[in-house]
Amino acid sequence: MPEQLNTRVEECYLQAESFFKRSFKRPQVSLKLRGQKAGVAHLHENLLRFNPQLYRENSQHFLKQTVAHEVAHLIAHQLFGERIQPHGEEWQLIMRGVYELPPDRCHTYAVKRRQVMRYIYRCPCANSDFPFSSQRHGMVARGRRYLCRRCRQTLVFTGETRVE
């Protein structure tokens, strides 16, 4: 998987070098990105981070569009400096002129939400279920108290959990 990604990054750099008639410093490439973002360009670190899950699920489009999108950020930064807008006209020029791709700001990949466990807490009020995240449930285990906003009584763990 990383070979195709690295190959595409190099192709994008070669295209930019041919177009602008100058060389560009190559970035470090990482597959350590999770969540909804397909890719991120860290301008000052000259680093590209890509989401391996979205890459696996959308490999053709990802290689063509997302990789070029993120490389264009680094190229624009090296060419025009820090004072440009992330998806401004300089970046758009690179997307259209160099890569001949639409300057789409966001991807449309289906992002699977991960399931999260909720811990159910209650107070004496009627219909008063409070689903706590695992972090908040952990805080209670370490002695933190949470109060109901209506009756000001301490919320108590019911022993129930649910997956959302």
Q: What angle do CA 10, 15, 20 make, to 5 degrees?
A: 125
Give me the DSSP letters along the chain. Answer: -HHHHHHHHHHHHHHHHHHHTS--PPPEEE----SS-SEEEETTTTEEEE-HHHHHHTHHHIIIIIHHHHHHHHHHHHHH-TTS-TTSHHHHHIIIIIT-----SS-----PPPP-EEEEEE-SSTT-EEEEPHHHHHHHHTT---B-TTT-PBPEEEEEEEE-
**11 has catalytic annotation:** no
- The verdict on whether residue 44 carries a ligand-binding annotation is no
Phi/psi-derived region of residue 37, left when phi > 0, alpha when psi is between -120 and 50, beta in every other case: beta
- The verdict on whether residue 69 carries a ligand-binding annotation is yes
Q: Which of 10, 70, 82, 164 is catalytic?
A: 70
Binding-site residue set: 69, 73
Catalytic residues: 70
Residue ranges of the annotated binding site for Zn(2+) are: 69, 73
